Structure formats: structure tokens, C-alpha cells
A and B are shown apart, each in its own frame.
Chain A
Amino acid sequence: MKLRLTLGAAAVLAAGVPLAAHADVAGDVKQQCGSCHALDHDYAKAPTHERADRKGPPLDYAGNKFRREWLYSWLQNPVRLRPAGVFPPAHVKPSADGDVVDTATLAEHPALDAAQAGKVADYLMTLTPFDTLIKAETYQPGTIAQRMGQMNFGKFKGCDGCHQDAPGKGGVSGPELYTAWQRLQPAFISAYIAQPAAWDPHTMMPVGDANTAAVHKLANYLKLIGEKQP
């Protein structure tokens, strides 16, 4: 069962109080992160509308998903990756021009110091329940021409409906993808594009019909645009 953290505890963490040195990191992560992030896969058994209660992305498969060096860096300097939050409908307000993101409702992620970030990143990288999905992945990073990649991402596959492939360009309900390559393991990128619901049955990412070669092309485009980022 996920533990729920109070806002007060989050504020304490944000203020830089170190994780208890003597406590085991797993317990600390459960206590400090578990209010917003799932650390087990129980959500998969709940009705779909549990999705509306999420405050942060699930971390139960963090070790199969993230790059350790990115986690270490981001935890010290967290920046928003999802312009409309983890559950966009909760952060939307109507306007004359249509729905807009109500940024006042978006919470900031606490920043950790380097020592804390290292411990948490190391722990998260041990959460690897989906090793079999990663091992089954055949993706080998390659190249793709910018124009072809862009057309594939936009016109042909419609990924830009929800994701940005450059700052300010594309939909805002999904996480930005121009930084996905630095953030995510290549095999995860490919495996998740191909079968997002195998990772998270309540994902808002559609299970598309792209074949393996097309998935790898999309992954190569994320590599191309990601490597151009500072």
C-alpha cells in the first residue's frame, strides 16, 4: 500500500532537511516520496480513474526507466517536464480561447542536496520489476534525418498532439520529449512507445499500431533532438 505524505513533510524536504542518515534509504523514499509517487504496482489493479489521483509519475519501475545520472542531476534541480502536470485535467481551466493550463495549481518538486540525490537515485535504480520487457527489446540506437524524424513524429504518427519535440512546439498534456533521451534509457523509450500499457495499464499514452521499425525510428528521433539539447 502506498504511503501518503503530508504537504508539511514535503515542505520539510524542500527546505533541505537531510534524510535521516541512519535510516535505510528505502524507508526514506517510501516516506518522503510515496505520497506523490507509486512505489509498488498496486495501481495497476485499481479502476482507471485512480489516474486522476496521481500527483507524480509512478516510480515502481524507475530502475527500468530512467538514467541514473539524469535522476541524480534532476533531483537536485527539479524542473517541470509535464507542462500540464501528471494529470492534466486537474490543472486546466476554461477560457474564451479554450482550455488553458492553470499553473497556479501545479506543485513544485522538492530539491535534494547532492548526497540525498545520490542515495535516492541509487535506490530508485534498484526498482526493476520489468527487466523482462527491457531484455526483450531489440532497439539499437541509430540515426535519422531531422526532417524525416520530425514528419514521422508529427504528421505520420501524431505524437505532437500531446508531446513537445522542441520547447513550445507541440501538445502539453504529455511530458516534453526533447529531453527524453537524456532522461530515459534507450531500451525503455522503445519498449514504452511500443507497449505503454504493459508498463502502466492506466497510461494516457495510446497503444499505437506502429511496427518495430517505426518505433525505432521514433526512438532515433528522440535521440536526435535530445542530443541537441544543452
Chain B
Amino acid sequence: MKTLLLAATLSLASVTAPAASDSGKQLYSVYCTQCHGVAGNGKGINAAQMAVQPRDHTDTKEMSARTDEELFKVIEHGGKSINKSVLMPPWGGNLKDDEIHALVGYLRALCCQKD
């Protein structure tokens, strides 16, 4: 019986297993680099036309002043949610919470774990 249960559980797991998740770096490449730059320096291809310059994510001092919760909030709800520019859109409808957490983790690596 135990064997049967285990087999059934494994079978169910294989059917419902989610696709391999994306890393924060991969998500950053898809959603953030157009404005924040491929190097995360705030100089993406859209930045030249913007009235407000995107945040430089490699700026250790600026980024250290933001908590993880604030970073999560601005990614989820956009710039307006922290009285910043509407040019930073809300990504909460595109990304799941764990993906936003992965992005926050990558932002921390970009800003503050330099060689």
C-alpha cells in the first residue's frame, strides 16, 4: 500500500511539477535591462528618451538605502507606489512573488557584492 501511495505521489508530482524556475538574473534580463541597462547602471536603451533617469542598480550607496521590502514593493506596484516615476511600471501582474524575491536578490548582488 505504501509503495502504491508513493508511486501515486511521484506520478502526481511529475504531472504537476512546475517548469524550471527563472533566476533573478534571467528575470532581470527580460524585464529590467531595457531601462536599467544590461550592466544595471541605469543606462538602458530606453533611458536616453526618458525624462527621469532609471535607477543605477550598481550604486551601492543608493541601493543600500533601500530595504528589500521597498525594492519588492516598487517592483510589484511600480514607481507611483513610492512616489517615484510612472516610468517604472508595476510588474506584480506579470511576476509571481517568488520571482520578485529572486529579482530583489539579484539587485542585492548587483549593487553590493562587487568583486
A residues at B contact (CB < 8 Å): 45-49, 51-52, 84, 88-89, 92, 94, 97-101, 155-158, 160-162, 169-173, 197, 201-204, 206-209
Contacts and interface: CB of A to CB of B under 8 A. Distances in A.
Contacts of B93: 197, 206-208
Interface residues of B, number: 36
Interface stretch (B1-9, B46-54, B63-71, B107-115): B46-54
Most buried by B among A94, A161, A202: A161
A172 B38 contact: no
Nearest to A203: B94
B86 to A, nearest CB: 4
Interface in B76-115: 78, 85-94, 99
Contact of B45 (A101, A160, A197, A204): A101
Given A97-B43, A99-B43, A173 B34 contact: yes
Interface of B: 19-22, 26-27, 29-31, 33-35, 37-39, 41, 43-50, 78, 85-94, 99
A171 B47 CA distance: 8
26 contacts: A47-B22, A47-B26, A49-B27, A49-B30, A84-B34, A89-B29, A89-B30, A89-B33, A89-B34, A92-B38, A92-B44, A94-B37, A94-B39, A98-B41, A158-B88, A161-B35, A171-B34, A171-B45, A171-B49, A172-B45, A197-B94, A206-B78, A206-B90, A207-B90, A208-B89, A209-B90
Contacts of B21: 47
A88 B22 contact: no
Contacts of A89: 29-30, 33-34, 38
Secondary structure of the A side of the interface? Answer: loop
A225 to B, nearest CB: 16
Most buried by B among A51, A88, A89, A170: A89
Given A98-B47, A161-B89, A207-B94, 16 more contacts: A47-B22, A49-B26, A88-B45, A89-B33, A92-B44, A98-B45, A99-B47, A158-B86, A161-B49, A161-B50, A169-B49, A173-B34, A201-B94, A207-B90, A207-B91, A209-B90
Contacts of A160: 49
Secondary structure of the B side of the interface? Answer: loop
Contacts of B92: 207
B45 A170 contact: no
A209 to B, nearest CB: 6
Nearest to A154: B51
Nearest to A202: B30
Most buried by A among B22, B34, B93: B34
A93 to B, nearest CB: 8
Nearest to B95: A48
Contacts of A157: 86
Nearest to B30: A51
Contacts of B35: 161-162, 171, 173
A202 B26 CA distance: 12
